[in-house]
Structure 1
Amino acid sequence: MTTATPFTAGATPGVNALPTPPSGWPIGSYATYEEAQRAVDHLADNDFPVADVTIVGVEPMIVERVTGRLTWGRVLGAGAASGAWFGLFVGLLLGMFSTGGAIAPIITGLLVGTVFGVTAAAIRYAATRGRRDFASVTQLVAGRYDVLSHPRSAERGKDMLTKLAWRS
């Protein structure tokens, strides 16, 4: 029987499929993921054992960024485009396996897909009854990003990141 160590950074994915909290000593804290990523890249460029490093997003937030106003025109246009792509895909598949010409199944798939796409989009949008007349993108972000390291190399990592901060 083998025993796993409490430190899991660099562990092989799938070996321990259960979610485990991160462990290690903090060697840096950053306001953005980009800064934390730059710090780990700096460690990697300077021969630090980055398999011992974990980036942890602390204080998670769900951020919904509004990208624009929805109108019937935009909804139906997007539904038509989505349906047309799916119909084209199905038409191409049918065309590949048909004994007759390939153009008829492609055109039929394109037209039927467009009609179904417009219909489905109209039904979905009408069901909201004007309660959500905007489009948005949702992201999971953190309030800050901590860089943790295995205790055996934490002090060296902290020194390296302190020097990086002085340069910036």
Structure 2
Amino acid sequence: MATSSPRSLIANYVPVAAYDSYLEAQKAVDRLSDERFPVQETAIVGTGLKLMEKVLGRMTYLRATGLGALSGAWFGLLVGLFFALFATRVSVFALIVWGLIWGAIAGAVFGLISHMFSGGQRDFVATSQVIADRYEVLVAPTHAERARELLQIRPT
């Protein structure tokens, strides 16, 4: 199965407006939608992409254990809920609580061991996001003129 490149996907669209923020581009498409424009013929494309990673703090043994416990607790809760769906002779509440507890314990152990074996690589916690310099609203060529007219009616 052949996959299309991102460039070939947007080749069938023409730009009708450009904005400094994604929110402005989203509002423009929402305005088109409010005017009954066929928004399925629309795309928002970010240009000048950058990856930004915001460092939140150091990854310590305590933090690794705590984060592991949290993610394990969620998984344990889901397992407990799943077993509770099919339980007939056991307390549903007990299954959920035990799943939560054992998930937290297993997650804490896994988080601690994973951090110990990381060898000091990536000893920090961070979130990442892709940001763009500009956001273009693209439309199929057959609808471009109408989109330009609608976006000029009420400025953002």
Class of the TM-score when normalised by the shorter of the 2 chains: 0.7 to 0.9
1:2-41 to 2 correspondence within 5 Å?
A: 18-19=3-4, 20-22=8-10, 23-41=12-30
1:121 to 111, 118, 126: 111
- CA deviations on 1:62-95 (whole Å, 9 max, x unpaired) are 2222233322222211222322333344345446
State whether structure 2 residue 62 is matched by structure 1 residue 73: yes
Distance 1:93 1:157 in 2: 48
1:82-161 to 2 correspondence within 5 Å?
A: 82-94=71-83, 97=86, 101-102=90-91, 108-161=98-151
TM-score (norm 2): 0.73
C-alpha change, 1:135 and 1:156, in structure 2 (3 Å) is same
Which structure 1 segments of 5+ residues have no match?
Answer: 1-16
Which structure 2 segments of 5+ residues have no match?
Answer: none
RMSD between superposed Cα atoms in Å? 3.0
Show the counterpart of 2:45: 56
Identity %: 41
Instruction: Provide the aligned length of Structure 1 versus Structure 2.
Output: 151
SS in structure 2 of the partner of residue 27 of structure 1 = strand
TM-score (norm 1): 0.69
